[in-house]
Amino acid sequence: MSSAHASLERLATALADEREALIGHDVDALMRSTQNKIVALRELEAVPSGEISGPLAELAEFNRANGALLARRRREVNWALRHLGRMDSAPAYDAQGRAASTPLPRELAVA
């Protein structure tokens, strides 16, 4: 088995593990799979692109699907936090051009 093929297999496994972690809400598994994905991608950077373009395109689509799932999870978490009274912030820049945020409190009840 060539090193390119082995790296593609590692990337495919990492992407499958990432998807399972996202579906199962397993943060530790998500972190492990992301690290494995990064390692496999670094290995593939050394391979001539013509050798792996077909399989890599398929894995890129799998990665985009995982990204969409991750974005959905992020929206769910933000929604829950917002409804639990988390302080929302509106990103803005101050006069010096630095990123600043203005906290917007959300009252849950009035006593």
Domain edges within the chain: 3-89
Q: Over the stretch 57-97, which tens digit does the pLDDT of each residue have? A: 899 999 999 999 999 989 998 888 888 887 555 556 666 77
Q: At 47, is the pLDDT very low, low, confident or very high (cuts 50, 70, 90)?
A: confident
DSSP-assigned states of every residue in 5-72: HHHHHHHHHHHHHHHHHHHHT-HHHHHHHHHHHHHHHHHHHTS-HHHHHHHHHHHHHHHHHHHHHHHH
Q: What is the pTM of this model?
A: 0.69
pLDDT value for 40 = 95
